[in-house]
Structure 1
């Protein structure tokens, strides 16, 4: 029996899924499909995406993505993140978990759906050199930066606050390159070294930019419109996200790693909050993983039945 009231757990779940009661329909549908999907239960991807450190990773990824003025222009011009930040979060979570746990056809369809939504996201922005440039959400440069920021964030937070990654960091980067391919990313990195090299190329080329629009995004992410009861814990998670960002990007964001109450190191404080969240949500696999495991069990049973039928026929 959980020591946390249902109202608190439901509020936390609704923050991530946009639905107050029970798993969303798209989660329940993950037990359908005719194959195992792109990633197996023993994969690095399941290990990384199945742990609470992904909450910090999501905040970190948004901070990192804001440093590309083209990517940020698309969010600023087209997204309703200020009016409906939880809706945007729920949509991102849906894509991540669908690609991670669904059968291959569903994962491909989910990615194509996002790309279709991106087709109308076009406009102009001022780059880091002060030049007026066009942007489109499906431009290869923007897709690459978003993929790099995502992969780097989920890897960095997993290394700090999750259990060891099967196959190590290289396995996660290599596996999640498939998600990049589904989204049209050219040459996604396939090792941690390649990941850092591609990130560094954006930095040294002068592509990234720090300006008032970035500062506005940071202010919003520091204090999003969450329930008041959630803000103390979120503040710690935000500090954890900041502490996990490399100094050169942190400086561009105008952020410094903080210490919570000058007593508990940020990493330890973040770990504590993540454990509390894990206890609130319950131990064991989450609904998406459980649905995927039901699909895999069904496919295994069907395969065994087919094999038995063939054996009987041969006899």
Structure 2
């Protein structure tokens, strides 16, 4: 690895990955991804069984997840590889049996990692396009192809990761019969939509209504079949309103100065590659 390759990271400022992950729509896409990921009984069982953060330190867990994606996207290659090693180390040796399917699993099973990856890529891409990020069909395919690197780094089987939008859609068609709204999924969805907050935060800050609005956008942007599984098929009637709301959220957030809006990892990366 040359110093130039390390400095540019795995994607670089000219990538579609930077364009999507640096956009305000990323936060809505991230919530959509969490809600979609929860519908896989075995993947959700692993989160419920081994991630105390969902129960005891929910905000810390969300922060760590966001930091991982930011480091993988905008960090140097060395920084990204360190983050990957930490995640893979946290997964190692954790196994159990999922109650509803009877499947014995390990948290780092490649098919479970692929599900998490596919939900993230599909969510971030679909919400970005809906929010008005300038992306044509070629850009969309390029993003899915770029993200194969992220999937294989975390442990997905090489050659099995979708590399085009069409392949990603085919993957979801194949997996959908395995999906279900289990009790852990309901618990996770409640946490995402109505997360616990200290009383003083709810009384003295706009955090609760702000998060509720963001989470509602995440729910509304789910695919129709996922909304139906959550018992929310009626949201399909508001598709134009949802698109308008996501675009308004993006426009409002873009009006905030980038020094406030951007996360520190992104600001650092822009300086590093300038």
TM-score scaled by structure 1?
0.75
SS at match of 1:265: helix
Stretch moving more, 215-224 or 265-274: 265-274
Distance in structure 2 (CA, Å) of the matches to 1:103 and 1:220: 33
Is the 1:53–1:274 Cα contact (8 Å) retained in structure 2?
A: yes
SS at match of 2:147: helix
Is the 2:227–2:235 Cα contact (8 Å) retained in structure 1?
A: no
Q: Deviations along 1:108-133, whole A, 9 cap, x unmatched? A: 22112101101143211124xxx422
Distance in structure 2 (CA, Å) of the matches to 1:285 and 1:165: 21
Stretch moving more, 227-236 or 131-140: 227-236
**Partner in structure 2 of residue 141 of structure 1:** 111
Aligned-residue offset at 1:233: 2.5
Q: Which runs of 5+ in 2 are unaligned?
A: none
Q: Find 2:20's aligned residue among 36, 41, 48.
A: 48
Distance in structure 1 (CA, Å) of the matches to 2:183 and 2:266: 40
**Partner in structure 2 of residue 81 of structure 1:** 54
Cα distance change on mapping 1:290 and 1:220 into 2, 3 Å: closer
Q: Which runs of 5+ in 1 are unaligned?
A: 1-31, 298-315
Cα distance change on mapping 1:274 and 1:82 into 2, 3 Å: farther
Distance in structure 2 (CA, Å) of the matches to 1:293 and 1:117: 30
Distance in structure 1 (CA, Å) of the matches to 2:23 and 2:164: 21
Distance in structure 1 (CA, Å) of the matches to 2:114 and 2:6: 30
**Partner in structure 2 of residue 104 of structure 1:** 77
Matched, 1:239 2:209: no
Is the 2:70–2:265 Cα contact (8 Å) retained in structure 1?
A: yes
Is the 2:221–2:242 Cα contact (8 Å) retained in structure 1?
A: no
**Partner in structure 1 of residue 225 of structure 2:** 248
**Partner in structure 1 of residue 165 of structure 2:** 192
**Partner in structure 1 of residue 65 of structure 2:** 92
Q: How many residues are treated as equivalent by the alignment?
A: 259
Aligned-residue offset at 1:34: 4.2
Q: Deviations along 1:76-135, whole A, 9 cap, x unmatched? A: 1111213211111111111111111122222122112101101143211124xxx42212
What value does the CA root-mean-square deviation take over the aligned residues? 2.5
Distance in structure 1 (CA, Å) of the matches to 2:128 and 2:233: 21
Q: Deviations along 1:224-257, whole A, 9 cap, x unmatched? A: 1244322223222222212221111221122245
Aligned-residue offset at 1:285: 5.4
Cα distance change on mapping 1:256 and 1:81 into 2, 3 Å: same
Aligned-residue offset at 1:176: 1.0
Is the 2:37–2:119 Cα contact (8 Å) retained in structure 1?
A: yes
